[in-house]
A and B are shown apart, each in its own frame.
Chain A
Amino acid sequence: MTTPSTPLLELSTLWIQVTGTWCNLTCTHCLNSSGPHNPWLKSLDTEMVTRYIKEGADLGIKEIYYTGGEPFLHKDMLLLIAHALEVVPTTVLTNGILITDQVADHLAALAQNSPYSLQIRISIDDVDPDKNDRIRGKGAFAKAVRALELLHNRGLLPILTATEILRDELPEGRGMYEQFRDLLLGLGITKPRVKIMPVLPTGRMEREGGPLLTPEMLQGFDFSLLQCSETRVVAEGGVYACPILAGLPGARLSAKSLKEALKPCDLYHTACVVCYETGMTCKN
């Protein structure tokens, strides 16, 4: 069967998988199997990240997202956020564990000093601490809540980001989105921001034999609905098509530059079906 591909309509969003798959949690649903031991994708060094930020700005990107793994494990993370914020609005996806008072102070200062928005996304998967920690690890809920509070107290308006991994366990009544809003309001977070993402069939959720996209399914399809039509990701090994498939050989478009990765990418993975069907985006 022919593998369909997506054109790059514009390069707007640059993701940087700054700590590879190195994380201080081992979530059961992690889309790239991140964890503390022997990460299969290594961290990027500061010089390389800085070079890609500059290349992205030269190409006229709109925003940068830092992800991992856990970005705050990178020894120069605050410096790298500062570098990005000098040129574009910047978002960091984190589990919040390493956001201490001191880090939150630093982030608030960075946000204050940039003309561009700094958005911090904190991952939580259920409003019930026990259920959340069953997925994300013991103590993860309390630490994420602490991070939300520390950031909120400094005016940073964090975004709670959840997956639908526990959607089936929802009690009757209020939906997931409303429950997370209620959680934030209950914490005194008066401007609650919530983003919910589907679970992706990659990493620890990868299963054999999932459905694939066919050229017929893409006839007449609006490719701008797929994030790989406007996104590229820098991770160990080069530049990849999307943040979900970063690090996988089939999604690699260049070993050395964004410019070389400005070309169509194959929709070869079963995860592509999720984006195709839901129109979801990893962006804010």
Chain B
Amino acid sequence: MSREGKEYRRIAVFGGIYNNYLALEATLEETRRRGVEALFCLGDMGAFGPNPDRVFPLLEHGKVLAIQGNYDQSLATGLDNCQCGYTDPRDNHFARLSYEYTFKKTSPENKTWLGQLPTHRRVRLGQYRLLMCHGSPRRMNEFLWESTSPNCLLEKFCRDFESDVLLFTHTGIKWHRALDGDRHVVNVGTIGRPENDGQVNVWYTILTAADGLQVEFIPVHYDCETLTQEMEHEDLPVEFIETIQTGWWTTCLEILPSKERARGKF
């Protein structure tokens, strides 16, 4: 794990672009207005949406500091599955459709670029030691849902990985919890897919070290209509398109724990 030690006061962090280059574009624009010092992406550039290669120039142009997610690792190493960590056949069915499409449509150059990304990143935000990862500090594809991440585990992560703030994504639903001793864990959410609450916007996170740590979840509205047209054009599953149009998850639902599943429509 690299220790960069670079210090910031205010940063933006997002995860799960899922080929949604329009949401990425809107997020980059939105962060510019808010005056952050650096942008970080916690991985999974591909999946779900159309035209994967449109994401990479935006990341480069926006000077986004990225780490690798499970999708990125799979694409870079030529695996035949996305390593999303699903266990249910219905979840795996849709994950396979999405991965096959993304694998086919991602250029060799971009796969190589994904392969050289680090799996973790450490920075300082004011007095806080931040550790960024994709799923969890111990496993790239571990799901840390709010209702299945107990304090005893999160405190152990902070201790074992010598961090004050843990940042991760992978599940697709944002949350923040303060632990004893001014330590924090934040699922920064994803910008590639709405978060199963009936709203079509997506979310990213701004962290500011001021008087304590401020964690702000920022909604991003983007051109969903163009995205759905492109998804239709690319023959992506109607279930994916429905999610973009309605804000309700229709696939990869079985992995949801009961509390998170109960909040959704399906």
Contact = CB atoms under 8 A, between A and B. Distances in A.
Interface in A50-72: 57-63
Contacts, number: 67
A193 interface: yes
Interface of A: 10, 12, 57-63, 87-89, 111, 115-119, 155-157, 177, 190-191, 193-195, 224, 281
A63 B152 contact: no
A62 B266 CA distance: 26
Contact of B89 (A117, A157, A177): A177
A89 B261 contact: no
Given A117-B147, A155-B262, A281-B87, A89 B257 contact: yes
B233 interface: no
B266 A116 contact: no
Contacts of B146: 115
Contacts of A111: 258-259
Contacts of B88: 194-195
Interface centre among A12, A59, A117, A193 (most CB of B within 10 A): A117
Interface in B168-222: none
B258 A119 contact: yes
Q: 10 tightest CB-CB pairs across the interface, nearest first? A: A60-B156, A117-B257, A117-B147, A88-B150, A57-B152, A89-B148, A157-B258, A117-B258, A117-B259, A62-B153
A59 B153 CA distance: 8
B64 to A, nearest CB: 30
A157 B153 CA distance: 25
Nearest to B264: A191
Interface string B234-266: 000000000000000000011001111110001
Nearest to B146: A115
Contact residues on B (Cβ < 8 Å of other chain), bracket: 20 to 34
B147 A61 contact: no
B152 A88 contact: yes
B54 interface: no
Nearest to A116: B147
Interface string B148-175: 1111110111000000000000000000
B32 interface: no
A62 B258 contact: no
Contacts of A157: 258, 261-262
Interface centre among A10, A111, A191 (most CB of B within 10 A): A191
Nearest to A112: B259
B74 to A, nearest CB: 15
B105 interface: no
B152 A60 contact: yes
Interface in B79-100: 87-90
29 contacts: A10-B138, A12-B153, A57-B150, A58-B152, A59-B152, A60-B152, A60-B153, A60-B156, A61-B150, A61-B153, A62-B150, A62-B153, A88-B152, A89-B147, A89-B257, A115-B146, A115-B147, A116-B150, A116-B259, A117-B145, A117-B148, A117-B257, A117-B259, A119-B257, A190-B266, A191-B253, A191-B266, A193-B254, A194-B88
Interface string B50-90: 00000000000000000000000000000000000001111
Nearest to B138: A10
